Amino acid sequence: MKKPLDQIRDEALKHAVPIMSDNSIEFIAKVASRFSCSKILEIGTAVGYSSLKLLSLLPDVHITTIERDEKRFEQAAKHIDILEASESVRALCMDAFDYLPQEWFDLLIIDGAKAQNQAFFDRFFPFVSKRGVVIVDNIDFHGHVSLSDSIGNDRRNLRQMVQKIAKFEQYIYHREDLIVEKVNVGDGMMVIYRKER
């Protein structure tokens, strides 16, 4: 019989719900350990798989995760209950831009609408502790970012989104106060933290 986490993952994949790969979550866990993270803010809950998998790897963390899609949020809430994780994982159903943190976070995971990467970063980076870190998922967006010039005019929305991802990347690299590590894990991840920590 499959473990509950495996069932959640398989069900999400079956219904084409975009969830993080296990490799990506394991990488995040390593970064969280490296930076001694205990409080995590995740933008983009989907069905809760990434938060719950991360909790299984780092049992002492506390995660606040935000999802605006009500149906996916309801699934995430159900999964959190099944795994009896409500004391460690707090899921919120709302637009992330309506959320005003009341605490510092050691790790910010940006895995929401890709065109909003910079807006998410600008909104929540002030709430990342001085020694904290930001991880942005899907920075390569299925290889489209490096091949943006070959996206046809008939795919205007895709082209615009890819351009926004690339613009965010340029913005981050030009920030002299930050250190940026881009890693080839999953669909590309970016690790960002302050030079002065």
Average pLDDT over residues 130-149: 73
Dihedral sign from CA coordinates of 122, 125, 126, 130: negative
Residue 103 DSSP code: S
Domain assignments of the chain as residue spans, ordered by start: 4-194
Say whether pLDDT at 139 is over 90: no
Say whether pLDDT at 147 is over 90: no
pLDDT digits (tens, 9 = 90+) for 25-42: 999 999 999 999 999 999
Q: Chain-wide mean pLDDT for the chain?
A: 90
Say whether pLDDT at 132 is over 80: yes
Average pLDDT over residues 48-62: 97
Report pLDDT for 153: 56
Q: Tokens 């669909």 identify what position?
A: 187
User: How confident is residue 165, by pLDDT bands cut at 50, 70 and 90?
Assistant: confident
User: How confident is residue 114, by pLDDT bands cut at 50, 70 and 90?
Assistant: confident
pLDDT digits (tens, 9 = 90+) for 182-191: 999 988 899 9
Average pLDDT over residues 14-24: 92
Please indicate whether residue 153 or residue 191 has the higher confidence score (pLDDT): 191
Say whether pLDDT at 148 is over 50: no
174 CB-near residues (< 8 Å, 6+ apart): none
Report pLDDT for 159: 67
Report pLDDT for 160: 74
Long-range contacts of 72-79 (CB under 8 A, 24+ apart): 72/17, 72/45, 72/46, 72/47, 73/45, 75/47, 75/48, 76/45, 76/46, 76/47, 76/48, 76/51, 77/48, 79/4, 79/8, 79/47, 79/48, 79/49, 79/52
CATH architecture of 4-194: 3-Layer(aba) Sandwich (3.40)
Please indicate whether residue 43 or residue 143 has the higher confidence score (pLDDT): 43
Report pLDDT for 156: 63
Helix ranges restricted to H, 3-69 = 4-14, 22-34, 49-57
Report pLDDT for 144: 45
